[in-house]
Amino acid sequence: MERILRGIMRYRVLDRASMVNQFQEVRDNPVPKAIFYTCMDSRMIPTRFTETSVGDMFVVRNAGNLIPHSEYFVDEMTSCEPAGLELSCIVNDIRHVIVCGHSDCKAMNLLYRLKSKEESNLEQRRISPLKSWICAHGKTSLNKFLQMNGDFDKPMLFTAETPQRKFVAYIDPENKFCIEDKLSQVNTLQQLQNIASYGMLKKRLEKHDLHIHALWFDIYTGDIFYFSRRAKRFIIIDESTYESILAEIRRYYS
């Protein structure tokens, strides 16, 4: 708390005035352009590595950047993740939903260990809210990952905006990342499928009026990767790829 309070005092001196000016510019009518789902990991600072500011996007964070499938939305029981979809996509009419996973994700490391029945049994889940969350909403990602049997030269198939729109993905074809990071990339793509399961988004997705994207952040290099449906893989966003990624987005999502 001492460090946080010191930071607040520095903020008052250095940044408060400019931030208040930004609040006054958007006032009571901000126009965010996207909703950004990412992990609650303390190393992930999405507004910094996207250089976004006040009013630019909604941000939802949780352990493992998971968006529960709509099958878990029963009666009055739900969570903030689908509520965020409604607030952003229905109430505020945004056009882009982004899911961003990352390397060395502690939630994904735990999910990988949960392939063991001893780690994921009911008793463990009752005493650990984290394990319960990861088991409930990461199981589909883990099962899809395990079906590869370690052979990531094979393509994976994911459902996209509609059941008819599917995309192929090759996970880490250059074999640069560890097995848990491969699971993190699979999990990031699985969330696109989960997002598309919500009936409230169906019409907009079918009309290409709402678009879902996947990013992946390597915390050790600071590199950010975009999942390219054209390349069927995550590709680094840098000076050599920026224009081609932008062209793909304009072609697929215009």
CATH number at residue 65: 3.40.1050.10
> 189 pLDDT band (50/70/90 cuts)?
very high
Per-residue pLDDT for 75 more than 80?
no
Query: How many Å apart are CA 224 and CA 18, to the nearest integer?
Result: 28
pLDDT in tens, 36-61: 999 999 999 999 999 998 899 999 99
- Report yes or no on 1 lying in a domain: no
Strands (E), the chain: 34-39, 57-62, 96-102, 156-159, 166-169, 211-217, 224-228, 233-236
| Confidence (pLDDT) at 25 | 83
Query: How many Å apart are CA 175 and CA 190, to the nearest integer?
Result: 20
pLDDT, the chain, mean? 92
Per-residue pLDDT for 77 more than 70?
no
- Report yes or no on 237 lying in a domain: yes
pLDDT, mean of residues 202-209: 93
- Report yes or no on 16 lying in a domain: no
| Confidence (pLDDT) at 78 | 75
Per-residue pLDDT for 73 more than 80?
no
Per-residue pLDDT for 136 more than 80?
yes
Report the Cα–Cα distance between both ends of the chain, in Å, rounded.
46
pLDDT, mean of residues 227-237: 97
- Report yes or no on 225 lying in a domain: yes
The percent of residues in the chain predicted with pLDDT above 70, rounded, is: 96
- Report yes or no on 7 lying in a domain: no
Query: How many Å apart are CA 133 and CA 110, to the nearest integer?
Result: 11
Per-residue pLDDT for 180 more than 90?
yes
pLDDT in tens, 20-37: 988 888 877 788 999 999
Other CB atoms within a 10 A radius of the CB of residue 110 amount to: 21
| Domain hosting residue 35, numbered range | 31-253
Cα 15 from chain centroid (whole Å):
29
- Continuous segment of H or E residues that includes residue 85: helix 80-85
Per-residue pLDDT for 127 more than 90?
no
The percent of residues in the chain predicted with pLDDT above 90, rounded, is: 75
pLDDT, mean of residues 120-124: 70
Instruction: Please name which of 107, 109, 105, 141 lies closest in space to residue 220, comparing C-alpha atoms.
Output: 105
> 120 pLDDT band (50/70/90 cuts)?
low
* Range of lowest pLDDT (24-28, 62-66, 78-82, 240-244): 24-28
| Confidence (pLDDT) at 76 | 60
Query: How many Å apart are CA 71 and CA 67, to the nearest integer?
Result: 11
- Report yes or no on 115 lying in a domain: yes
Residue corresponding to tokens 């409930």: 136
- Report yes or no on 25 lying in a domain: no
What total of structural domains would you count in the chain?
1
Query: How many Å apart are CA 186 and CA 170, to the nearest integer?
Result: 9
- Report yes or no on 8 lying in a domain: no
Pairing of strands 34-39, 57-62: parallel
pLDDT, mean of residues 112-132: 79
